[in-house]
Chains A and B, each alone.
Chain A
């Protein structure tokens, strides 16, 4: 059924998927770089400033980190193209105890699939919409109802500028979030996790990993941005001090 629907517009979808994936991967690159700088995982000398999304972004100039990041993002791109990736997670761990101190989670929703499945079964979207609003579950109940009917109408295509402003907002928020996050007193290291679907193709360089749960976690939902095909929700979970 779905394949039949997709076939006439597959080439266009392919293009938009590629474009969307490119946007998302680029966002991840800058976002992770920014986080590595903001959270002090590397000394400031490891970064150089570039302009992106109308912001001064700090990007690492350490070849080792660069190549590592490139390798990860290449794989993420492949998974995004296969629509297999669900979440991308940047976990910050203590070097001494190896406990997870912070967990930056980016949920990737495939909005195109949702719009196609919406007409087929409203039930799934209902639960989806139920899980979507994180902080204000009670408040948004009234607003989600009309949104359910909206997908029947074709969504207006988002321009690149709109996406960029959304990304800008989310990056600004990430930068600002440093103010409320606890100080990372100890030496830290980092890793990137990728939550994919069960049947995703996994290269030899990747392996199944611990989900890096944050114990005694406090979490803050951040802004989200969406392309025509994807919606990215950002969330940061951080470990509260035990004595508090």
Chain B
């Protein structure tokens, strides 16, 4: 704005600039340096200022200070740089240092004049050196002066150039001023334009607001639409969710069988949930949009997203459909699986039942064994005599039942008998009681009798005693009498007589008593005779007693009989036991015969290399080889399957269609080494078998030839012909009685080998002619070759006999040899051999 006014200042600034401008600073100092050199200077000495100018402002000032000191106003150009000199004067310490150096130099020059000639020469030399140095420095300085001059010239040129530039810049300033003027004009125009444009923009804003409003309306419409779509979608989503839940339920049903599917469904469900979330987000966004509508872009975005969602939902529906289809399939499979499971369960139950049955079967088998043993015992117990009547246990049981019935009946009978017996016993007891009573009575009677008899005896005894007393008394009396007679002469006669009388009375009493006693005794005897009935009873009692003893004996006998029966039964039992033991022994012997042995006592040994063991070993080897082969083949099969699986089902199917052979041919590794080994083993075994067969056939041939020889010998000896079988089925018959070998008949089998023979020739023509007649007769006419042959034999025998007779006649006696008989004898043995041979 103020450019036109500041033009003269600008020019001035340009004039003062060289000190500060970066592109002129150095050159100016250089120019200043060059001006310094050009000044008249007395002394020339090397200084660091002689070196090219340095960029520092202080350096030139300080170094050239003594040079400037004498000639401050030497050139007008220097006035321009006055400031700099002043600046250099500001350091007085440095200037003092310079002055000291100069003084030292001068003193040293004074000192040189006073030294001795040697020193003089050395100083001369030094002078020369310094002169030389001076000259060299002079030349250097001169050269520097030339360079300085050149630099001055260059600075002049530069000055001129700068001046030119100043001019051009001034012209530029003028141009710029004009330009500024035009620009202000332009700005004014632009301001006006801007006002106008503002107005226009306001209008545009208004339009835009209107547009916005319309867009808002549309947005609300679209929002409503979207809400409708949303509600629809939510409904659909709900239905989908419902269907999904349904699916989930169905899936849950099939979860066990299809974990992968359920996981997939879960994933889908998650995605749906995500979609729902998204929809929710969208709803939120919509709400936000309702509040502050940002424009069409969001709507478009929402629409796009909605489209995406719809597409996604469609995709989901598609996947859902697929899943439902899969679900159906899985349901079917699941049903099948369930059916199979049920079947499996039923089968398992069956298996359990079968196991139970097996166990039961085992138990029954054991029971059966026990029962069989029992049966054997029973059969052992039931001897043949016992089981003549019945053949089956049923009959036996029947018999036992009938026997039991009989037994019961018998028991009843026995009870009856026992009851009768008891009644009898009671009766007997009564009788016995009666008897005992009678006995006691008898005893009493006897006692009474005994008493009576004893009384009687006592009475008799008393009687005897009384008699004896009487006698003694009589004797006493006599003696008394005598005594009296002798001594007293009758003093107590009266008394004595009285006494005698008394005594006689007593005797009479006694007699009376005795009589009464006798009478009573008689009465007693009478009484006893009256009790003869009692004696009878007594007799009966005795009889009873005997009967009791008899019954006792009878009982004893019965007991004995019973014991005998018991013993008999025992015997029977023992016999049965014996027979059962025999049966057991037989059983044991059968077991021994079957090969049982007592391992405690003996051991069974077998040679290790027995034919059976060898066979077993061969079989084991075979089995091992086959097992190995099987394992190897299985391995290779699994390998193949593994190889085929990655190749894919289609390929596998194709390969299966092409067949296994190709595969086997293609893949050499399919045949394992084990099968080769097995085949080798088989081959060896077959070779051995072959060798065996060879051996066998050889032996067969040998035995056959032996037999054939035997047969031919038999034919020769029986039919008189040696039979030679020639080739082409011809048969040569040579008679035993032939002298020569050539005399033979040759037969050939008839047409079609039907067993008929034809004579086709003979060993010698002569021989044939000899028998032509008989041949004609027997063969041609009667058609019998055997008859012909027999004829020939007979002829030959007769002939031989005739010859023998002739020989006998000639040789009289010679041992007769009959080969036929000896042969027959041999044949006997052969025949017997043949017969024995099975």
Contact = CB atoms under 8 A, between A and B. Distances in A.
Contacts of A43: 696, 699-700
A192 B606 contact: yes
Contacts of B600: 198
Interface residues of A, number: 55
A8 interface: no
Contacts of B606: 191-194, 206-210
A209 B593 contact: no
A145 interface: no
Interface string B669-710: 000000000000000000000000000100110110000000
Interface in B577-631: 579, 582, 585-586, 589-590, 593-597, 600-613, 615-616
A190 interface: yes
A68 interface: yes
B611 A45 contact: no
Nearest to B583: A137
A209 B833 contact: no
A12 interface: no
B694 to A, nearest CB: 12
Nearest to A65: B611
Contact of B593 (A75, A192, A194, A217): A217
Contacts of B594: 103, 213-215, 217, 219, 237
A89 interface: yes
Contacts of B612: 91, 93, 98, 189-191
A195 B615 contact: no
Nearest to B585: A137
B616 A98 contact: yes
Interface in A190-244: 190-198, 200, 202, 205-215, 217, 219, 221, 235, 237
A127 to B, nearest CB: 10
A75 B604 CA distance: 14
A219 B590 contact: yes
Contacts of B603: 195-198, 200, 208
A89 B604 CA distance: 9
A45 B700 contact: yes
Contacts of A75: 607
Contact of B605 (A138, A190, A208): A208
Interface in A157-213: 189-198, 200, 202, 205-213
A209 B700 CA distance: 36
B595 A209 contact: no
B622 to A, nearest CB: 12
Contacts of A221: 593
Given A45-B703, A137-B582, A219-B590, A208 B604 contact: yes
A183 to B, nearest CB: 14
Contacts of B601: 197-198
B811 interface: no
A207 B594 CA distance: 21
A29 interface: no
Given A45-B700, A205-B607, A195 B602 contact: yes
A205 B609 contact: yes
Given A43-B696, A193-B605, A196-B605, A219 B596 contact: no
Among B607, B699, B836, which residue has the most Cβ atoms of chain A within 10 A?
Answer: B607
Nearest to B699: A45
B379 to A, nearest CB: 15
Contacts of A219: 590, 593-594
A105 interface: yes
A86 interface: yes
A32 to B, nearest CB: 12
A177 B44 CA distance: 166
Contacts of A65: 611
A128 interface: no
Given A131-B585, A137-B586, A86 B605 contact: no
Given A211-B595, A219-B590, A194 B605 contact: yes
Given A213-B596, A217-B594, A206 B607 contact: yes
B837 interface: yes
Contact of B597 (A56, A211, A235): A211
B596 A217 contact: no
Contacts of A148: none
Contact of B611 (A189, A205, A210): A189
Interface in B240-283: none
Interface string A45-87: 1100100000010000000010010011001000000000011
Contacts of B836: 49, 56
Contacts of B582: 137-138
Nearest to B586: A137
A98 B620 CA distance: 12
A207 B593 CA distance: 22
A134 B610 contact: no
A213 B832 CA distance: 39
Given A49-B837, A68-B611, A190-B611, A207 B595 contact: no
Contacts of B589: 131, 134
B826 to A, nearest CB: 15
A105 B607 contact: no
A239 to B, nearest CB: 9
A197 B602 contact: yes
A95 interface: yes
A161 to B, nearest CB: 22
A217 to B, nearest CB: 4
A211 B596 contact: yes
Contacts of B608: 205-207
Among B589, B593, B615, B838, which residue has the most Cβ atoms of chain A within 10 A?
Answer: B593
A120 B616 CA distance: 48
A227 B615 CA distance: 36
A105 B593 contact: yes
A45 B701 CA distance: 9
B604 to A, nearest CB: 5
Nearest to B835: A56
A49 B604 contact: no
Contacts of B607: 68, 71-72, 75, 191-192, 205-206
B833 A56 contact: yes
A56 B696 CA distance: 22
B838 to A, nearest CB: 8
Contacts of A56: 832-833, 836-837
A200 B582 CA distance: 32
Given A56-B836, A212-B595, A207 B604 contact: no
A209 B608 CA distance: 9
B700 to A, nearest CB: 5
A46 B696 CA distance: 8
Contacts of B595: 89, 100, 103, 105, 211-214, 237
A191 B595 CA distance: 14
Interface in B804-838: 832-833, 836-838
A45 B698 CA distance: 9
Nearest to B615: A189
Given A46-B696, A191-B613, 15 more contacts: A45-B696, A45-B699, A71-B607, A98-B616, A103-B595, A105-B593, A134-B589, A137-B582, A138-B579, A192-B606, A194-B606, A198-B602, A207-B605, A213-B596, A235-B593
Interface of B: 579, 582, 585-586, 589-590, 593-597, 600-613, 615-616, 696, 699-700, 702-703, 832-833, 836-838
Interface of A: 38, 43-46, 49, 56, 65, 68, 71-72, 75, 86-87, 89, 91, 93, 95, 98, 100, 103, 105, 130-131, 134, 137-138, 189-198, 200, 202, 205-215, 217, 219, 221, 235, 237
CB-CB nearest 3 A-B residue pairs: A209-B606, A45-B699, A191-B612
28 contacts: A38-B838, A43-B699, A45-B696, A45-B699, A45-B702, A46-B699, A49-B836, A91-B612, A131-B585, A131-B589, A137-B582, A138-B579, A191-B611, A192-B607, A192-B610, A193-B606, A198-B603, A200-B603, A200-B605, A208-B603, A209-B605, A210-B604, A211-B595, A211-B597, A213-B594, A219-B590, A235-B593, A237-B594
